[in-house]
Amino acid sequence: MSIFDRITKETKSFIVAEIGSNHNGSFDLALSLIDLAKKAGANAVKFQSFLADQLVRPADPDYKTLKRLEVPQGWYLRLQAESKARGLVFFSTATNDVTLGWMEEIGVELYKIASPNLTHLPLIRKTSSLGKAVIMSTGMASVKQIDEAVQAFTSTGNRQLCLLHCVSEYPARPESINLRFMETLQAIYPYPVGFSDHTLEIGTSIAAVTLGARVIEKHVTLDRSMEGPDHHYALEPEEFISMCRNIRAVEEALGSKTKTISPSEAKKSDSYWRSLHAAEDLAKGTVLQGEHISIVRPNDGLHSRHLEDVIGLAIQKPLTSGEPITWEVFKKKRHD
């Protein structure tokens, strides 16, 4: 099954542990974050493939930090192998032709267009032309800008696109999220939608799943106090594990639009539903009146809908108090 088929056809959402630049330039730290993704039950890990010289000018105040956090070319194959060994998909954010080439060399199956690159139409067309599935975030963008990016993507003939609702605040405030915009994206485009979550909460991603998110992307870190641009709004290990666990529980709970009764529930109805019972000891031949009947548990007598039907009928056998009233008690025996 292709990655795009996995996103669109499987019942469970595709959870991405966004490692991004939180490796801090350490391959061992990157591995620890991959291990966290595996432990949590995520489906994929994502990094950020930028080269500082192709992203900002040397005079930019972020230049030195970005330079330090570049993913070296020699890491890609190793990161992919380590991810695959843990049953995880490895992919990265595309930002330039050079790193795209590095990822194509190792056969990456999935790419990401981040919100800051949504207006970089040449990059979008280049990434789309590779013929792979692409996840595109839509933070900071109007519907018109989103549509322009989508048109640039589909101009190559590639239709393997997933659009992520995103609010580019770090961290994002819950009141800024507007999750229902996902429904607008679903109505406008014939592509799966998801949510790139920059809040410090786990509930927003869980709620997104209930609204139909096929992809959930969340930043992870070992410690929010670590130095680096993305740690402060990422989830720490136990938080990310809890988010994944709760998403899977909610997916099971969502079920389908068809009403079903589980075997356990059906068994409980025998005990919990009430039915018609004798309210007192009744002699054979008693003509039932309202005071003779109680509607109590368990569900072993006539349904309460038959209350009016049995009033005025004579019972053909004695009943003790609490005994169920069934149609059998009104039948005469053949030898009578």
Task: Return d(Cα 113, Cα 253) in angstroms, integer.
Answer: 32
CB distance 111 to 128 below 8 Å: no
CA 326 from centroid of its chain's CA atoms: 49
Q: Give me the residues paired with residue 276 across strands.
A: 295
307 is in which domain, residue-wise?
263-330
Residue 335 lies in a domain: no
Helix (H) / strand (E) element for 135: namely strand 133-137
Residue 201 lies in a domain: yes
Q: What is the pLDDT of residue 242?
A: 98
Q: Please give the mean pLDDT across all residues of the chain.
A: 96
* Domain co-membership, 187 together with 294: no
Task: Return d(Cα 331, Cα 315) in angstroms, integer.
Answer: 8
Residue at which a domain ends, from 230, 254, 278: 254
User: What residues contact residue 246 under an 8 Å CB cut-off, 6+ apart?
Assistant: 202, 206
> Band of the pLDDT at 336, cuts 50, 70, 90?
low
Residue 307 lies in a domain: yes
For the chain, how many structural domains are there in total?
Answer: 2
Better-predicted residue by pLDDT, 165 or 334:
165
Q: What is the pLDDT of residue 94?
A: 86
CATH code of the domain in which 18 resides: 3.20.20.70
pTM, two decimal places: 0.89
CB distance 204 to 178 below 8 Å: no
Q: Could you identify the residue written with the tokens 């080439």?
A: 101
* Domain co-membership, 135 together with 114: yes
Give pLDDT tens digits for 35-55. Answer: 999 999 999 999 999 999 999
* Domain co-membership, 144 together with 236: yes
Q: What is the pLDDT of residue 335?
A: 61
Task: Return d(Cα 43, Cα 56) in angstroms, integer.
Answer: 32
CB distance 127 to 103 below 8 Å: no
Three-state SS at 202: coil
| Averaged pLDDT for residues 100-124 | 97
CATH code of the domain in which 317 resides: 3.90.1210.10
Q: At residue 206, does pLDDT exceed 60?
A: yes
Give pLDDT tens digits for 217-263. Answer: 999 999 999 999 999 999 999 999 999 999 999 999 998 889 989 89
Q: What is the pLDDT of residue 256?
A: 87
